[in-house]
Amino acid sequence: MSNTSNHVLNFGAGPAKIPESVLKKAQKEFLDINGTGMSVMELSHRSKPFGAILQKTKDNLAKLMDIPSDYSILFMQGGATTQFAAIFLNLVAKKQDELIKLGKEKEEIVVDYFVTGAWSNKAVQEAERLAPAVQSNPIRVNRVIDVKQKYGKFGTIPPPSEWNLTDPTKHHVAYVYYCDNETIHGVEFPFVPKVNETVPLVADVSSNFLSRPIHVPKYAVVYGGAQKNLGPAGVTIVVVRNDMLVDVNVGPVRPLMLDFKTAADNNSMYNTPPTFAIYMVGLTLEWLIEEKGGLKGIEQANNSKARKLYELIDQSKLYKSPVDPHCRSHMNVVFRLPTEDLEKEFLAGAEKLHMHQLKGHRSVGGIRASIYNAMPEDDVDRLIEYMIEFEKKHSP
């Protein structure tokens, strides 16, 4: 295989590849956005020009996701990691508010977590850290399933028969939480976990945000950082059902910057929002609508890319996927070679061909090809071509 250009294939897990047409449009508008004579980074967040950008971005997100009118779209900061705390504080407050009205303010509240990879594990650890500080109601953090504890490693989604969901008819359940796609371990839920309809469901969709259709009414909160599929790092999108918004003086003490109602009441502008990141999200949403056929169109493209890679891996005698076939990620394809030395050789050869950021996360090693929305299928084909040649070179 020979490389005849300096075209870079960016398989980074995030910050990740941004569509070329989006970058070119941002470049064209960099010094003058919409005839203002200023860069979008220079606009006041309270100006009419930026207000128009923000509203169009919200409108296009609502269109793509078919978000009902009783939901709020929030643009928050601090990445998905900050939302680990925000989810806990806001939804526990919602449940406390309900119990106060029922005269049950001293009774136990339970929060349920699916732990299927590194990021859901970090989320449950944050809940476990915050729970003891909550006054009034005792808080119990329940691991519905902890895959690593049960199987010794992450790499599967166990069947419902192995789940330990809390019974909402016997306990006060504030929410059920899961990470839809585990970036590090390459695990993706092939279904929405079925929970009692009275219990708020929360999904971290950071690394597969807008990669496929999602039925928003099933959720109380859907959130994700933008830096995988929607633009640069710096903004986190939170789609929250309005009945989850409670006064900041109710429930656990929480900073105003973590309070969903404060963000909603101020149209995500309680302080200066990440204006450039929001603008870039807006351009990416336009790209999805105008060039990719919306979520159904991008889902077909993503399925095609992932299918090709997994077919090669499954047919190979050199490459091996550590993830069960039924829950392999369409965004983060992880695989191993027989030895770490061979993996280093593979990565070095890929770099020479301008295939960058294929090294697996430092906590697990191996290879990880992140093939987000912006990754063209041609680039995946070039990776596959290299993988085939590499295997021929190292076949017995």
Residues classed as catalytic:
119, 204, 228
Distance (Å, rounded) from C-alpha 126 to C-alpha 177?
12
Q: Where are the alpha helices (DSSP H) in 71-117?
A: 79-101
- Tokens 């020479």 correspond to 352
Sign (positive or negative) of CA dihedral 76, 78, 83, 89: negative
Distance (Å, rounded) from C-alpha 75 to C-alpha 105?
32
Distance (Å, rounded) from C-alpha 225 to C-alpha 78?
9
User: Following DSSP, what letter does each residue of 189-237 receive, concatenated?
Assistant: -SSPPP--TTS-EEEE-TTTTTSS---GGG-SEEEEESTTTTSSTT-EE
Candidates 192, 210, 133; CA nearest to 374 is 210
| Contact yes or no for 285/64 (Cβ under 8 A) | yes
Cα–chain-centroid distance for residue 317?
32
